[in-house]
Amino acid sequence: MNAAISLHQPDALPFAPSTVPNSWAWRAPQDPSNEDLLRLNTWWRTANYLSIGQIYLLDNPLLRVPLTRDHIKPRLLGHWGTTPGLNFIYAHLNRTIQERELNTIYVTGPGHGGPGMVANAYLDGTYSEVYNTIDQSENGLRKLFRQFSFPGGIPSHASPETPGSIHEGGELGYSLSHAYGAVFDNPDLLVAAVVGDGEAETGPLATSWHSNKFIDPLQDGVVLPILHLNGYKIANPTVLARIPERELLDLMRGYGHTPYLVSGGFDGEDPIEVHKRFAVILDSVLNHIAEIKASAAAGTLPGRPAWPMIILRTPKGWTCPREIDGHPAENNWRSHQVPLVDARDTEAHTRLLEEWLRSYRPEELFDASGAPVALATALAPEGNLRMSANPVANGGLLRTELRLPDFRLYAEPVPAPGSTVAEATKVLGTWLRDVIIANPHNFRIFGPDETASNRLSAVFEATDKQWDAEYLPIDADNHLARAGRVVEMLSEHQCEGWLEGYLLTGRHGIINSYEAFIHIVDSMFNQHAKWLKTARTIPWRRPVSSLNYLLSSHVWRQDNNGLSHQDPGFIDHVVNKKSDVVRVYLPFDANTLLSTYDHCLRSVDYVNVVVAGKQPEFNWLSMDQAIDHCTRGLGIFEWAGTEVAGDEPDVVMAAAGDVPTLEILAAVSILRKRIPSLKLRVVNVVDLMRLESDTEHPHGLSDLEYDSVFTADRPVIFAYHGYPWLIHRLTYRRHGHANLHVRGYKEEGTTTTPFDMVMLNDLDRFRLVMDVIDRVPGLAETQSVLRQEMQDARLHAREYTRAHGADTPEVADWVWSTQSSVTPPQADTGADNV
Q: How many CA atoms lie within 13 A of 749 on its CB side?
A: 22
Assigned CATH topology for domain 3-394:
Rossmann fold (3.40.50)
Predicted confidence at residue 566, as pLDDT, reads: 83
Residue among 820, 816, 795 nearest 670 (CA):
816
Report the chain's C-alpha Rg in angstroms: 30
Report CA torsion sign: 24, 25, 31, 33. negative
> What whole-number distance in Å separates Cα of residue 521 and Cα of residue 531?
15
Name residue 718's amino acid: F
Query: How many angstroms separate the Cα of 508 from the Cα of each of 132, 448, 533, 545?
Result: 32, 18, 19, 6
Query: How many angstroms separate the Cα of 780 from the Cα of each of 173, 429, 682?
Result: 57, 47, 21
Q: In whole angstroms, what separates CA 51 from the centre of its chain?
A: 29
Give the relative orientation of helices 492-504 and 522-535 as an angle to the nearest 10 degrees.
10
Backbone angles phi, psi at 487, to 5 degrees: -125, 115
How many residues can be counted in the chain?
834
Predicted confidence at residue 159, as pLDDT, reads: 92
Q: What angle do CA 577, 539, 138 make, to 5 degrees?
A: 115
Residue among 615, 618, 616, 633 nearest 663 (CA):
618
Backbone angles phi, psi at 455, to 5 degrees: 70, 30
Predicted confidence at residue 556, as pLDDT, reads: 83
* H or E segment and range at residue 287: helix 271-298
> What whole-number distance in Å separates Cα of residue 372 and Cα of residue 44?
12
Q: Are 822 and 421 in contact (CB under 8 A)?
A: yes
Predicted confidence at residue 22, as pLDDT, reads: 60
Residue among 773, 819, 763 nearest 678 (CA):
773
- DSSP assignment of 553-621 equals S-GGG-TTT-GGG---THHHHHHTS-TTTEEEE---SHHHHHHHHHHHHH-BS-EEEEE---SEEEE-S
What are the structural domain ranges in the chain?
A: 3-394, 420-616, 633-812
Q: Give alpha helix (H) positions in 15-113.
A: 34-56, 83-100
Residue among 73, 800, 818, 41 nearest 376 (CA):
41
Q: 633-812: which CATH architecture? A: 3-Layer(aba) Sandwich (3.40)
Domains 3-394 and 633-812 share a fold: yes
CB contact set of 781 (below 8 Å; sequence gap of 6+): none
Q: Are 166 and 501 in contact (CB under 8 A)?
A: yes
> What whole-number distance in Å separates Cα of residue 548 and Cα of residue 526?
14
> What whole-number distance in Å separates Cα of residue 506 and Cα of residue 573?
26
> What whole-number distance in Å separates Cα of residue 358 and Cα of residue 259?
37
Strands (DSSP E) along 448-564, which ranges? 465-466, 480-481, 486-488, 508-514, 547-552
Domain 420-616: give its CATH code. 3.40.50.970
Secondary-structure breakdown of the chain: helix, strand, coil percentages, each rounded to the nearest 5? 40, 15, 45
Name residue 504's amino acid: L
Q: In whole angstroms, what separates CA 194 from the centre of its chain?
A: 19
- Give the residue ranges of the chain where pLDDT is below 70: 1-23, 559, 818-824, 826-834
Query: How many angstroms separate the Cα of 281 from the Cα of each of 97, 289, 308, 497, 591?
Result: 15, 12, 11, 29, 57
Count of Cβ atoms closer than 10 Å to residue 476 Cβ: 11
Residue among 194, 263, 276, 832 nearest 566 (CA):
832
> What whole-number distance in Å separates Cα of residue 495 and Cα of residue 460?
18
